[in-house]
Amino acid sequence: MNELKLIAISVGKVAPLFVKQTTGNVGRIVSAIKKSAISDLNEPNWVETGTLGLIGDEVADPTVHGGIDKAIYMMPQEHYDFWRQQRSKENIETPALEFGGLGENLTCSGLLENEIFIGDKIRIGDVLLSVTQPREPCFKFNARMGYKFASKHMVQQGNCGWYLKVLTVGKIKAGMSIEVFEGPRRISVRAEFSRLTSRQQDSLF
């Protein structure tokens, strides 16, 4: 396994998100999926975590995001090349897809969905986190990526990332090492994502 490292920490505010509807019209909703890095390898600023996530991060719809069990969302940086390529194929060049652009709070390196399991614990400095579930795509992710097949591509690739529960609060910054402590290891994030999305593909697409 490659070195596990925290590459970026991102937060977002609730803001308008424009969604193309099946009628061709453009609808306006609110979302906090647009996140940007406030700590990266160039500027490794300290960021405080609370029991409900990173201080300064917001949630637009608490029925599907946030809360104790989905306080923080982690995504491997390894997936960014894929999404940049897909957006390029769709002739989407702006805004550039930077860390936080997939809606994640923590961008990691060296850890993928088939290597991390539900119930595993992750330590970053003094902060202890527990892996709770994969992120499931929705129409907001399509809007964020700028094309209508983004959710389908996430399901096909399995590059979903995972939600974390905060067990011990503290401060973290980009560049810190990540430690993984194995839990029961019954099902990986990747396998759980496949199970969940196989039941919901009609509603996703």
116 contact partners, CB below 8 Å, separation of at least 6 = 122, 131, 162, 180, 188, 189
pLDDT at site 20: 65
| pTM of the predicted structure, to 2 decimals | 0.93
* Mean pLDDT (10-residue bins), the chain, 205 residues: 90 85 68 95 98 95 88 98 96 92 97 98 98 93 92 95 98 98 97 88 53
* Residues 120, 153: Cα–Cα separation, whole Å: 26
CB neighbourhood size of 154 (10 A): 25
- The CATH number of 5-200, from 3.40.50.2300, 2.40.33.20, 1.10.3720.10, 3.40.640.10, is 2.40.33.20
CB burial string 62-75: b at 16+ within 10 A, e below: eeebbbeebbbbbb
